[in-house]
Amino acid sequence: MPVFLYKWIGIGLVIVLLGVAVKVQTSRLEAVKAEYAGFVSKVDAIGKAQEAAAKIKDAQNVTRMETVNAENARTRGALNIALNSLRLANSGRGNLSAPAPTAASPTRTCFDPAKLDSALRKLDDGVQEIVGIGSGAVIDLDSAKRWVQK
């Protein structure tokens, strides 16, 4: 056989091998595309299920939050009523007792009774305010704990 025939046989063989390689790669590409489509549909299904579960959970959280906020508002209202009644009860009376009957003279005391009484009232009001703020914070914390536990 002549040399130029080997050349054409080699070229033909390369073309056939390239055709086979293209066919194999095309079939592999189609398999990967099908696998990818299955993966995408599976992820979409999982994502939609998670979205539905999240919407249900969010609705439950909103309901729990509204319930706990209503309880919190009622409890804080009761606290405010109690603090106001305590202020009213303490506002009409003085904090100092009358001088002892055996005292030689009520003017011989070492303090000004009006100023001392005013200072004690301010102290009492400040303490009541601190107690109110602290009690409100405790109520809020308890509400947050109830919201988490439900």
99 inside domain: no
Instruction: For residue 142, tell me if it sits in a domain.
Output: yes
pLDDT at 107 (0 to 100) = 63
Residue 100 within any structural domain of the chain: no
**In a domain? residue 111:** yes
Are the C-beta atoms of residues 87 and 128 closer than 8 Å to each other?
yes
**pLDDT in the model for residue 137:** 92
Asked whether residue 83 is assigned to any structural domain, the reply reads yes
- pLDDT at residue 109, rounded to an integer: 59
Q: What was the pLDDT predicted at 116?
A: 80
Q: How many domains does the chain have?
A: 1
What pLDDT sits at residue 95?
Answer: 58
List of the chain residues with pLDDT < 70: 1, 91-111, 150
In angstroms, rounded to a whole number, what is the distance separating the alpha carbons of residues 136 and 133? 5
* Structural domain span for residue 70: 3-91+107-149
User: Residue 102 falls within a domain, yes or no?
Assistant: no
78 in a structural domain: yes
pLDDT at 122: 87
pTM of structure: 0.53
131-136: long-range contacts, CB 8 A cutoff, minimum separation 24: 131/83, 132/79, 132/80, 132/83, 135/79, 136/76, 136/79
Confidence at residue 104, expressed as pLDDT on a 0 to 100 scale: 62
